[in-house]
Structure 1
């Protein structure tokens, strides 16, 4: 396919107009990303998100899945970490595409990698909502929560959340496509087959992936804060700071992405450079949520921090103890040999 210039600068750009279909191009494409400050900055940020998110979520999976006793909370944390871990594992595809300004992974991976991004978006947001509602129920209805809050029910809720996320990610598989422009292959959203499909999908993602979850989270944490303020046992301001950080991170990471996706619906009335830059920055900010989740939702938890310290410190102590025992054995052998040698002399 051959595209107008406004559609070829960002892999997340959409197209819903008429195009001329061509299979080959006579142009030789050369990447200019490494010569642009914004592109290099986003590349560095994406690599950091990949490294921090991949390692951080792998650590959460290891501790919550294998080191901690299985509870309702660890079920939430493990599912959230798996979602973010899978997303981070596929980030190198986007990073490579951004650096090369060319999609070299084929038609199938164009659809699959994009669907993984939206699967993560919906699954992580749904899980954050579940965690918020669970905390709300535990604070407001503690007796009911103690009697009905079980691991089995939590597992069923997690499965339902994943099924909903998968169903909402299907449009990405359907409409994602590849095409050629000026000697390069791009992976983009092709909405030419169905009228109004672009608008319907963008609005549905905004509602299901941002507005409704954000309203639910705000309501839950507002009630929790009011409840904790009336609780005489709550003397520390840390719960309020943590909850404020959770809401702020969710809002900051996802708002720019959805704003520029909406602006893209009316791209004729906006500058191409603004939309292109906004989509790139918004996508990077949304990706940053994948490594902020384990920090905000897990590492701030006292149980997780205690288990993390115990696990890491115990391994270090064992390693040092083994080294010490090896050294002491070596020294004892050396001293005994020296003793035998002096006797012979």
Structure 2
């Protein structure tokens, strides 16, 4: 996770303040730092939440990867969901580094992991939102241009789009590789953001992440879904909205989890104008909320199927497979119906 320090404010080392003073963080330790986390209620609660997120996210997404990657037929829909699950799985796999960091209040994993573990958080953020944008555009094309989608919507093309989305996410995650550093302060080793060599580096990174990772994707998704709803109402195919139920839940979960994080990161740019304790506590909470998004996706796959009671009686595996399978079958039926409607219309013309 992208946590940083501001020694001038002497805040907890593992949250999103930034070291920007003229002093060097590589100072000689004059005493041994002792962890205070277990003496703070908020820290203990967030630690428990992090462990729960890790367990649910790691095993839940591993299950989605196994089902969508090995147990189900390769389709465009399963390609999207497989990629989302891989993104969340990788993020959860690195959560233990942060959990140990919180408990020990000491970064013991070295400079490489300081940079790499932070990059993984933003790789997860960007890859998830880009995939949600891609899926929204895919839904838009399927509804507005059903015949074209039926002829050109292939697994191979979907795989290429996923690869491009991941490549772009990697590029946008690269600032963590540049700015993350390891230093010592007050007897502890810390992993922090060092913007001292770049006057406007902090502002540029925060604003660019907000625009590329939230505002622009939000606008694209809203436009796509607005057109989809209008088209469905115009064609009186309200039953065909079922394929968008899981996707709508995924989008809503992403924005609910990530919007507070971006808000507090932007507030941090002018942290001198806000109450220090509230800002620090808020950053802790919203970062945990952002991490929670990684385990919500497999939960949504399970409980957003057609009949909850029927799925509840079935096994966990069949729950997830049915939830994702219904998505593909319903979309296929919708494309077939739309194709025949367009065909009759062209005959009359």
1:283 shift after superposition = 1.0
The change in CA–CA distance for 1:233 and 1:149 in structure 2 (over 3 A counts) is same
**Which aligned pairs between 1:186-201 and structure 2 lie closer than 5 A?**
186-201=190-205
How many Å separate the matches in 2 of 1:240 and 1:70?
19
Q: Which moved more, 1:247-256 or 1:278-287?
A: 247-256
Structure 1 residue 209 corresponds to structure 2 residue 213: yes
Matched, 1:230 2:234: yes
Question: What is the alpha-carbon distance in structure 2 between the residues aligned to residue 259 and residue 217 of structure 1?
Answer: 20
Distance 1:203 1:2 in 2: 19
Does residue 107 of structure 1 match 2:119?
A: no
Residues 3 and 20, structure 1, Cα contact 8 Å, conserved in 2: no
Work out whether 1:178 is the aligned partner of 2:182.
yes
Structure 1 residues 143-191: Cα deviation after superposition (integer angstroms, max 9, x where no partner): 1110111111111111100110010111101100111121111111111
SS of aligned partner of 1:177: strand
Shift of 1:299: 5.6
TM-aligned CA distance change 1:2 to 1:122, over 3 Å: closer
**2:86 aligned with 1:82:** yes
Q: Secondary structure at the match of 1:69?
A: coil
Distance 1:300 1:2, change over 3 A: closer
Q: Is the 8 A contact 2:123 2:173 kept in 1?
A: yes
Contact 1:225-1:240 at 8 Å conserved across structures: no
Runs of 4 or more, structure 1, over 4 Å off, are: 235-244, 308-313
Query: What is the CA distance between 1:280 and its match in structure 2?
Result: 1.1
Instruction: Please give the root-mean-square deviation of Cα atoms over the aligned residues, in Å.
Output: 2.7
Offset, 1:203: 0.5
Q: How does 1:7-26 map to 2 (within 5 A)?
A: 7-26=11-30
CA distance in 2, matches of 1:64, 1:74: 6
Contact preservation (8 Å) 1:218, 1:247: no
Which position in structure 2 is the counterpart of 1:292?
Answer: 296
Higher Cα Rg: structure 1 or 2?
1
- The superposition leaves residues 225-257 of structure 1 with CA deviations (integer Å, 9 ceiling, x where unpaired) of 222333434248866765653443222101111
Count of residue pairs the alignment pairs up: 312
Distance 1:244 1:67 in 2: 24
Distance 2:314 2:48 in 1: 30
Contact 1:11 1:187 in 2 (8 A): no
Partners of 2:56 and 2:295 within 8 A in 1: yes
Q: Give the drift of 1:19.
A: 2.0
Q: Decide which moves more: 189-198 or 238-247.
A: 238-247
Partner deviation per Cα, 1:32-90 (whole Å, 9 max, x = no partner): 11111111111111111111111111011000000001111111111111110000000
Give the C-alpha shift of residue 27 in structure 1.
2.0
Q: 1:71 aligns with which of 69, 75, 80?
A: 75
- Quick check: 1:250–1:289 contact (8 Å CA) kept in 2? yes
- Check conservation: 1:77, 1:297, Cα contact below 8 A: no
Partners in 1 of 2:130 and 2:12 — Cα distance?
Answer: 32
